[in-house]
Amino acid sequence: MAHAFVLRRRVQFYETDAAGIVHFSTFFRYMEEAEHALWRERGLSIFPPEPTHGWPRVAASFSYQRPLRFEDEFDVRIEITKISTRSLTYGCLITCRGELVAEGGMTIVCVQRDADQTMRAAPIPEAIVARLQPAPSAGS
């Protein structure tokens, strides 16, 4: 596993349904919010002011173990599980009070936009790969 990041959140009222439970689709937003925080931590932005690349999502999933409710504090742990030439795969665990709430993942691909705005798969720039690699351990 490459590099993990943990984001602490609190469930907001607008994220819940009429029963006060977080709607299943909101978990994808939590995962994406943690992804962006991971990139910022590594000195990157997934959408810088003058982007040269895009990062469409090509796969995303979650399995749910228990609900999150309004005002719950929870952690979103995201980790890069695979870096290939043109894609990144993340694993995500959402926990609340030490209990697993949901487990999921997402794959994104690197694309370049042509002048006509057509997107085509492109290799991930080495500068980005280098920053997303795990930090060297003290014993290495």
Q: What is d(CA 31, CA 124) in angstroms, rounded to the nearest whole number? A: 21
Residues noted as catalytic = 17
Q: What does the DSSP assignment read for 80-112?
A: EEEE-SSEEEEEEEEEETTEEEEEEEEEEE-EE
88: left (phi over 0), alpha (psi -120 to 50) or beta: beta
> What is the phi/psi pair of residue 132, to 5°?
-90, -10
The answer to whether residues 108 and 122 touch, using CB atoms and an 8 Å cutoff, is: no
